[in-house]
Chain A
Amino acid sequence: MSTVFALWKRGLKAFVRNRVSLVFSLIFPFFFVYVFGAIFKNEFIDNPVAYMLSGVIITTVFESSLNLASSTVDDMVSGFMKEVLVSPVHRIHVAMGQILSASTVSTLQGVLIVILGLFIGIEFTSILTPIFVLLAMICVGIVFSGVGLYLATVVRNGQTFQIVKTAIAMPLTFISGAYIPLSLLPNTLKIIAYINPMTYATAFFRMIVLEKTGLSAEQLVNEGLAIEINGFIITPFFSVMIILGIGLIFLTLATRSFVKTDFSRLNRSKNDANELWS
């Protein structure tokens, strides 16, 4: 267990030390709030800044969870994972440590935006709301850190990972309703949105932030906080189940794949390859 904690601490330290990325991770969300908030004004929405921000917060958590898996790729390439490999630690603890640190860092980024958001439009009337907001962010953080770790063990190359990550994250965020309301999407994209887990994460998170948990399903659909597919309404409860289900699948895949990965073959060194094949 101390291994998990040590790796978690390591991830946090790396995050705190990298001030530039910290600052930029905060600039982007507000840029998006400004741009998309201005473009997609919608009369159904009574608090557009909070509406946009909630979507942006959850996508930030999502994106940075995926992003942080690239530090696992770095660890593989730099050889640090090889050191782990010859030590008596359980690999599953290493996987847990990496997932935990990634989800903590991404949640922290989300929290920072929430705090800044409190000054420009987000309002919490209930003491329970911030707690639920935090829990939801942690949940999304862990789920997508698992997805990220799985990708990392499959891709195992820094540059390829960046490309794969962008190719996955971009469509998932843009067709999730976070920036662009789903009602404005053409039908084909709507279908993609329905199979996009981020759609449900966004809708659910937005409902919490806007404190609309008391609304009926139909009202939620009207406000764009629940998804209706051909008359079938995906309730917030169902959304949570979808996210947790995906989380369970990918956390299992990630840990399994991580435990099985042969890190010794990932070495950049030419010598090693020579050693093996010459």
Chain B
Amino acid sequence: MKAIIDVSNFTKKYGNFTAVDDISFQVEEGSIFAFLGPNGAGKSTTINTLCTIFEKTSGTLVIDDKDVSKQKAAVRKAIGVVFQDSTLDAKMTIEENLKMHCVFYQVPEKEVEERIHFVLNLVDLLPERKKMVGALSGGMKRRVEIARGLIHYPKVLFLDEPTTGLDPQTRAHIWEYIVKLQKERSITIFLTTHYMEEAEICQKVAIIDGGKIVAHDTPYALKKQYTRDKAFITTKDMDALEVALKEYSIDYERKTTYFKADAQNMPALLQVIGEQKDLITDLEIKKGTFNDVFLEITGRKIREEA
């Protein structure tokens, strides 16, 4: 697969402060790529530089074989951007916003109507097309922005925290659209998020902290490498369970009312549970999450939005 985004040795400084420190990564064409990290890690700086808004300090950034700092107009044509904050024209209708965007991106006039229909259908907003943007809910606005970001058929769609500030239901919907989009149009999606669970639907994840990429792999590989499944066992006889766990050399932590045991060696754990089945009152297996990955790599939990 061809790399549609190719960043090498990218550094961005604000005065003495280094926001992004010599990072390199590639994004494959047609994949969903997530940039994960806490606020201030350098996510938005990277995305804004890729979108031709900020100037890099050094390094090379290439999108679709075009240099981001030298061929700005060509890069802008090839990308669609959905920012963290709304950039819609609240005083106009959804349709008018999309039409304006088509003018900006020189979409052939004959195709405008068809494309409006297509993108609005994709985000389930076709019946609302004549509504004023100012009257829409936050989730609807985000959907309009995604529709607008797509209408000029970009090769890469940048989504800067597309689900921040939305309720869980709307968030799930937005993700549905994103996945649908990738499947139907084989568009490359570059997104940033600080919701760990959202990174799991992506093909590749780069974890960025303090301006550096600290991990870059598939979600599966990252989870496998940095997290362990845990079993939480409650029993009537704590001592008996402890002996059994030791016997099968399973790592565990004895808490006041339960055991937290390592669930990586499942056959051994099942043996223990089989032996103790009359005493065990509760068993819960917890899968590793991206929070664990982040915790493991950076030594701290990712912060929730302030």
Contacts and interface: CB of A to CB of B under 8 A. Distances in A.
Contacts of A212: none
Interface residues of A, number: 31
B118 interface: no
Contacts of B148: 83
Contacts, number: 94
Interface stretch (B24-32, B87-95, B246-254, B272-280): B87-95
A88 interface: yes
B53 A264 contact: yes
B220 interface: no
Interface residues on B, range: 35 or more
Find the residue from A80, A86, A267 having the highest chain B CB count within 10 A: A86
A223 B92 CA distance: 48
A87 B306 CA distance: 30
B83 A3 contact: no
Find the residue from A2, A268, A274, A276 having the highest chain B CB count within 10 A: A276
A274 B85 contact: no
A88 B14 contact: no
Contacts of A87: 76, 101, 104-105
A78 B90 CA distance: 8
Contacts of A260: none
B40 A278 contact: yes
B92 A13 contact: yes
A82 interface: yes
A38 B40 CA distance: 64
A276 B19 contact: yes
A84 B97 CA distance: 12
Nearest to A85: B53
Interface in A260-275: 264, 267-272, 274-275
Nearest to B109: A2
B86 interface: yes
Contact of A272 (B44, B73, B86, B164): B44
B61 to A, nearest CB: 14
B105 A277 contact: no
Contacts of B83: 79, 82-83
A264 B54 contact: yes
A268 B86 CA distance: 11
Contact of A88 (B76, B87, B91): B76
Nearest to B306: A274
Contacts of A3: 103-104
Nearest to B75: A88
Interface string B36-56: 000110011100100111100
Interface in A227-278: 264, 267-272, 274-278
Contacts of A82: 53, 83, 87
A80 B88 contact: yes
B306 A275 contact: no
A249 to B, nearest CB: 29
5 contacts: A88-B73, A269-B85, A272-B84, A274-B306, A276-B45
Interface of A: 2-3, 6, 10, 13-14, 17, 75, 78-80, 82-89, 264, 267-272, 274-278
Given A3-B103, A275-B39, 17 more contacts: A10-B100, A17-B91, A75-B89, A78-B86, A78-B88, A78-B90, A82-B83, A83-B83, A88-B76, A88-B77, A88-B105, A89-B104, A269-B84, A270-B306, A272-B44, A272-B84, A276-B14
